Amino acid sequence: MRKKGIKIPRGNCLAIDEIVSTISVIIPAYNRAHLIGETLHSLLVQTRPADEIIVVDDGSTDGTASVAKSFDPSVTVIRQANKGPAAARNTGFRASHGDFIHFFDSDDLAAPNKHAVQIKALETTGADIAYGPWLRGRFAGKTFLPSNQVLQQMGLPPGADLIKALLSDWSVMVHAALFRRSIVERAAGFPEELFGPEDQHMFLACLLAGAKIVHTPDTIEFYREGDPGKITESIPGRERRIREWARFLVLARNTCLAKGIDPVNWYGFRRRAWEASDDLIRLGLSNDDLQKQLLPLYENRIPGLAYRWHRQLERWTGGLQVRLTGGRALACFQIGEIRPEQKEQLSLLGFQLPA
């Protein structure tokens, strides 16, 4: 922690007038020279600036490191061979010193009030993780084009069991959160054998370690879509994503079993395992070893046709939801329209919504 207001009283003993918590931002980056400038700008204009910003250049072949170094003395760049986002985040975390940790993506934008709002929530409530709203969209010049309503606008998934929600139908956006350092240490960081869902597993490990979560509705993150560098933006990336999510489900079950919890008892988890299996079959991987690992997670409970009909029903109801509300998401994502104060945060970053 950073000490402020140190006074020297009688007897020449130091008395600490105020202790101020510190924030570290950790950004894994790979070939983001064209985007990381906007990302760093959103962090450097925070009303509660970070005490350190660590960019981990994960084997980039462009000028990512040079662009990051040119911004501000508070930005530290660590270069390493390409090992993937989990390893980059772990490298950044080991090099960091903050009491609170903001894991951020190299192509997204944080509202200028993020740190101030979330650190206050953590310090006031004693929670381990603050989690706020986020909005997907594309940037066209100085205009942000949302692709949906704001996710987590109305709060976290209803009900008390966030572990069940995470493994059934919810997913998290880690950069929309602020973590206490201690909970990241208890979770043992990010699993480096995963590429893509590593952030979901880290969040799961935090929950299994007893993390208390608080929702912070007064800020927002802007998630950039349409970036060809994202794993989800190409066909090979899509195939890899399917395999990685299947691997996540297998690893997540083993992690839960170590804590005496078997997610196979939850319909939502079994359905996700079936969907991952069905996706692998569609890729022509029905005899793959990963496919065999998925089978025990869902078979012999209910017929596969029931899962298939459930998936189709969600597609129909999702279309109806768009017509009625203008947004589409499962109930656990608690979507809502963007609020005026969130639009103001976007304008402070130099962007606006379509007229």
What are the domain boundaries of the chain?
A: 108-355
**pLDDT of 316:** 67
Nearest to 153 by CA among 331, 347, 344, 354: 331
221-224 vs 15-20, strand pairing mode: unpaired
**Which DSSP string do the residues of 179-208 spell out, in sequence order?**
EEHHHHHHHTS--TT-SSTHHHHHHHHHHH
pLDDT band at 326 (very low <50, low <70, confident <90, very high): confident
**pLDDT of 330:** 85
Torsion over CA: 29, 121, 214, 99 (sign)? positive
- Classify burial at 34, counting beta carbons within 10 Å of its beta carbon; exposed 0-12, middle 13-18, buried 19 or more: middle
Question: 10: Cβ–Cβ under 8 A, 6 or more apart, which residues?
Answer: none
Answer whether residue 313 shows pLDDT above 90. Answer: no
Q: What are the pLDDT digits (tens) for 102-157?
A: 999 999 999 999 999 999 999 999 999 999 999 999 999 999 999 999 999 999 99
Residue type, 270: R
Question: 284: Cβ–Cβ under 8 A, 6 or more apart, which residues?
Answer: none
